[in-house]
Structure formats: C-alpha cells, structure tokens
Amino acid sequence: MTHPFPFDPTYGYDEARLLRVPAPVGPDDFAEFWTRTYEETRAVPLALERRRIESPQSDFKVYEIEFDSLGGVRIGGWLTVPKQGTITHGMVVGHGYGGRTEPAFEKGAVAISPCARGFNRSATPDIPGEAFRHVLHGIKNRETYSHRGSAADLWSAASALLEFYPDLASRLHYAGVSFGGGMGALALPWDDRFHKAFLQVPSFGNHPLRVQLPCVGSGEVVRSYHRRHPEVMEVLAYFDAATAARWIKIPVLVAPALFDPAVPPPGQFAVYNGLGEPKELFVHQTGHFPSPTEEPEIREVQACLDRWWIS
C-alpha cells in the first residue's frame, strides 16, 4: 500500500503472525490494583445532572449529562435515547484520542458518551485535553497516571446510565475505538455490570512491544519518553490493554487492523489474543488511514454489531 510514512505500518507482520502476538502476563498485583481502583471509583457519589438539549437526529432525545468520577473529577458527556422502537440494550461508548464533540447514536440503545477526563466537556485545568500530553500525564506513578482515571470514568458513566435506566442492568454493553478500545479493555474485567463489548483498533496492547515500534500516534510520545526513562515500563505494565484482556470474561468482538500507522497492529492483535472465549474477530485492512476498503468495512462492521448486541 502506498503511504507517506518512513516506516512500514504493517511492521512486517501478516495476519498469521499477528495472531501469535502474546499478551503480557503483567505484575502479580495487576488484578488487585484494578479491583481497588474500581472500588474507589464506585464509592464516589455521582452528583448526577441531566438536561435535555436539541437533538441533531429527530428520532433521538439527547441530554447533556455530568457526574463525578475517581478523584472527584467532573465528567461531562451526552445521553441519547431512541424516541421510538424497542430499546434492546444500554451502551457506554468510548472515544478515540482526539476526544469527542458530539454524542453517539446507537440503534436500539440508550447510549452514554462520556468525554474522558481532560477532553471537551470534561476539560479541567489539571489534566491536558490533547492526546500527546494526556498520554504522559501522571505517568511516573500508577496511582496518578491519566489512564487510570480514564478507565474509571467508564465505570462512572455506566453508573450514570443505570441510575436513569436501571432496567437495562442485564443488557449493558461497551463499545470503544482506538483510545476508547484500550480504555475499555482496562475497564471491563473488573465491572461485572457489562455483558458484551466491541473494541475497534484498540490501543495500548503489549507495551513492551509498542515501545519498540515507531508510529504517528500517542505511542510515539511514550516511546520517546521510554528512551529517556526506561523505568516507566514498571508503570505501563499496569495499563496494558492486552494484559487486562486476559482477565475479561464476557464476549468481546475485536476489530483490529493489518495496517495502521497510529496504533501498531501487533498491539491491537495482542488485545484479541489475550482474550478467552467467547470472542469474535473482524479484521480491518487499515486503521487510522484511508483506503478503498474503508466504507465497505464500515458497513460490514455495523452488520456484525447489529447481530452481536442482540444475539
């Protein structure tokens, strides 16, 4: 594939080799750390606020929503509710590392679209709202690293959705792309309220390998930092999406890419490889890069999801 990058965005891996990339085992207290983080997050009172706003889609009601998360950080986002038809499930929707400026609209679902701490409606002077700074924020300590709070914000978002729609407790799902895919993998093992998930081109899988691979995404900033501070691997070991995947017990559909200049494919596939059964795989030809297959794949993925959420 023709591209402008000074490196090969396949990194020399074909699909067969990608399916052999391991998920790191992680530190001995990996589960203890995340279980404690989950408990701390659930103990924070939500202080929920919701206000209806004009909807850009006539068949959905839209609300701005705010709630408190880990550390008392105020999180903003949107809640979308279908006006007609059967509501089949609730969904927490994570976003990419570019942030989000509008809500997700999910067919047949009440969906909450939180902005990760620091971004857009969750902006705060203490946390950068730009990916290349956010990915290093607090990275010297596992307790202060931005990704700990970002994963926690997804649990708080789930609590907010279920506060308003408790009848969806048995049908709560998660969907996240790129940054949201990685954060979802970190969050899912410890919260048994989630029943199914979709992780698209997930970031932050297999950090020991990621720091060896050049890219144009946030991973390059971490690579550079690692060269100056190799001890950072001790912190990153607790934030490895592939390690977390080993602990996920619910069905997960993963859609990694074979060619991706922003999120190296070996890390994406490591997340899939780390999962137990049941799981499903949809392989994108490219991620974070336009290609002739992009539009057909979007339609195919949506068809897969329409089946996945209700099966």
Using one digit for the tens of pLDDT, what is the confidence trace for 31-82? 999 999 999 999 999 999 999 999 999 999 999 999 999 999 999 999 999 9
pLDDT digits (tens, 9 = 90+) for 253-264: 999 999 999 999
**What is the DSSP pairing of strand 109-114 with strand 60-68?**
unpaired
Q: What is the pLDDT of residue 311?
A: 86
pLDDT one-digit tens code per residue, 43-53? 999 999 999 99
Q: Would the pTM of this model clear 0.95, i.e. be above it?
A: yes
pLDDT in tens, 14-29: 999 999 999 999 999 9
Which residues touch 304 (CB under 8 Å, ≥6 apart)?
253, 280, 282
DSSP string for residues in 76-106: EEEEEEESSS---EEEEEE--TT--SS----
> Which of 308, 195, 200 is CA-nearest to residue 250?
195
Q: Residue 190 corresponds to which tokens in the numbers above?
A: 């410890």
Residue-range domains of the chain with CATH: 15-305 (3.40.50.1820)
Nearest-CA neighbor of 209 among 31, 12, 6, 1?
12
Query: CA geometry: angle at 135 spanning 10 and 182, to 5°?
Result: 55
Q: 203 falls in which pLDDT band (50, 70, 90)?
A: very high
Cα(180)–Cα(236) distance, rounded to whole angstroms?
Answer: 17
Q: Taking residues 202-225, what's their average pLDDT?
A: 98
State the pLDDT at residue 35.
Answer: 98
pLDDT tens digits, residue range 224-279?
999 999 999 999 999 999 999 999 999 999 999 999 999 999 999 999 999 999 99
pLDDT digits (tens, 9 = 90+) for 86-139: 999 999 999 999 999 999 999 999 999 999 999 999 999 999 999 999 999 999
Q: What mean pLDDT comes out for the span 203-226?
A: 98
Q: Please report, for residues 98, 217, 267, the alpha-carbon distance to residue 211 in angstroms, rounded to integers and kept in the order given.
A: 21, 12, 10
Closest by CA to 188, choosing from 200, 201, 179, 198, is: 198
Q: Which pLDDT belongs to residue 36?
A: 98
Note the pLDDT of residue 1: 83
